[in-house]
Amino acid sequence: MAEDAPLYNWETLEKETVRPGVTRSGFRGDDVLLVMNYLEPGMQVNPHSHPFEQVVYIVKGKMRFVIGDDVVEGGPGSLIRIPPDVEHYGEPIGEETVWNLDVFSPIREDYRHLVEYQQADFKE
């Protein structure tokens, strides 16, 4: 392990407000981006699609995902794959804030601003 390897924690990373009830933080490796989404009950949903494959891991809370014509519900430990270019959205079920971890590889350029704090960790 590298000496003085940087250590980060989701609890202390700066959060970006996406819209009311939705905030997020990011963390990256060389070729992978993790985005933790914090989703409040009653948040406005946002059906969308993108050319990126998305892997979802539900860390905390319960969620309903609409992926194309499919509807799935999951709680902590649930894993969901969202194929590229498929319209999808998620929403919390119940009264608990959901922690929804999205994984993207390669790194999404439109999310790179979320990991600017790590710039010194990489020689680019």
- What ranges do the domains of the chain cover? 30-111
Q: What is the pTM of this model?
A: 0.92
CATH node for 30-111: 2.60.120.10
Give the tens place of pLDDT for each residue, 83-116. Answer: 999 999 999 999 999 999 999 999 999 999 999 9
Give the single-character DSSP code of 42: T
Backbone torsions φ then ψ of 38, nearest 5 degrees: -110, 110
Give the tens place of pLDDT for each residue, 44-62. Answer: 999 999 999 999 999 999 9
Contacting residues for 54 by C-beta, under 8 A, at least 6 apart? 81, 82, 88, 102, 103, 104
Contact 74, 81 (CB under 8 A): no
